[in-house]
Amino acid sequence: MIISVSRRTDVPCFFSDWFYNRVQEGYVCVRNPMSAHQVSRITLTPDVVDCFVFWSKNPGPMIDRLGELEGFNYYFQFTLTGYGHDIEAGVPHKRNVMIPTFQRLAQMVGPERVVWRYDPIAFSSKYTTDYHLHAFESIATALRGCTERCVISFVDTYQKNKARLREAGLSDQGDSGLESFARELANVAKQNGMSVGTCAEKIDLAAVGIEHNACVSRELIQRIAHAQMKVGKDTGQRTECGCVQSIDIGTYNTCRLGCKYCYANFSPQTIAQNVSRYDATSPLLCDALREDDVVTERKMRSLFVPQLSLFGDGDRKSVGRS
């Protein structure tokens, strides 16, 4: 199975000790966000975890311990934008800290395993199309040779982030003019050895050389693992999302980065309350098991397709893992 770490919070930035403890113990517990007393116990061992997909704006705190993931496949979705602290309050300085972190990570694990995310793109009187184009070109130039893929999206408005977006004066600008803007992004990326894909976008930008992307990507995992896998579309995501099935082990309302566009946090008060319960040794992130919880062992299996040997055996192919 594929494990997402995590769309719900920035585990590499804030909770890497917890994550490595869960890998060492070989399991993690995840509370159902829709049913508070239902908890899944998920095995985290190399025979059933086909890949970890990390999502982060600052994976720096976890990268010195990547050697502890020997036996596992993994790759990073690394968000690096041109916003300042007015929009991404908790993200360290981009040029002084985050670009060097990206470069170091790519040197450690290879450019194919670090996907650059310039998303979500939102516009305001400050963050104009020209601003984004300049920021994108500056970052792309710095990341040349450090990644093969850039993912973009345009900001979505949800009930959870509507007020914050309005306060910051941010909008998606609609579809008007986006094609010419996207064409320029694609050209800059191509000049720096990168392709561009969109994340869960309805707009079709194929004419300017931008594909619909799968962030949890069967093709990339197969390439990393040197093996074929059988996995379907993740029906729990939006219709436009191209991701394949994965299990998310994060917890909503635990990220302290304070991004104005975030849809995974309700309020600073809820975040503070949840984070106060953080225990790096707990099987649950920012939580603990309760007496009235119902813990169910989730059935886990590898999605890699067994390869026939010269003798006709059905053993699974030995995959190349880091």
Whether 262 contacts 156, CB under 8 Å: no
Q: Which of 210-219, 234-243, 275-284 has the lowest mean pLDDT?
A: 234-243
Instruction: State yes or no: pLDDT of 208 exceeds 50.
Output: yes
For the chain, percent of residues with pLDDT exceeding 90: 80
Q: Residue 285 to residues 15, 93, 275, 304: CA-CA distances in angstroms?
A: 8, 27, 9, 28
Q: What is the pLDDT of residue 163?
A: 86
Match 């981009």 to its residue by tokens: 94
Among 190, 234, 198, 182, smallest CA distance to 53 is for: 234
- What is the pLDDT at residue 308? 56
Peptide bond into 306 cis (omega under 30): no
Q: What is the pLDDT of residues 76-103, one digit of tens each?
A: 999 999 999 999 999 999 999 999 999 9
pLDDT tens for 126-156 read 999 999 999 999 999 999 999 999 999 998 8
For residue 41, name the pLDDT band (cuts at 50, 70, 90).
very high
pLDDT in tens, 16-40: 999 999 999 999 999 998 898 999 9
**Confidence at residue 199, expressed as pLDDT on a 0 to 100 scale:** 94
Residue 267's pLDDT band (cuts 50, 70, 90): confident
Q: pLDDT by residue (tens digit) across 169-182?
A: 998 876 667 889 99
Q: What is the pLDDT of residue 307?
A: 73
pLDDT at 224 over 70: yes
CA pair distance 143, 91, nearest whole angstrom: 18
3-state SS string for the chain: CEEEECCCCCHHHHCHHHHHHHHHHCEEEEECCCCCCEEEEEECCCCCCCEEEEEECCCHHHHCCHHHHCCCCEEEEEECCCCCCCCECCCCCHHHHHHHHHHHHHHHHCHHHEEEEEEEECECCCCCHHHHHHHHHHHHHHCCCCCCEEEEEECCCCCCCHHHHHHHCCECCCCCCHHHHHHHHHHHHHHCCCEEEECCCCCCCHHHCEEECCCCCHHHHHHHHCCCECCCECCCCCCCCCCECCEECCCCCCCCCCECCCCCCCCHHHHHHHHCCCCCCCCCCCCCCCCCCEEEECCCCCCECCCCCCCCCCCCCCCCCC
pLDDT of residue 104: 98
129's tokens: 């199309």
- Is residue 316 pLDDT above 80, yes or no? no
Q: Which amino acid is at 38?
A: Q
pLDDT at 176: 65
- Asked if residue 321 has pLDDT above 50, the reply is no
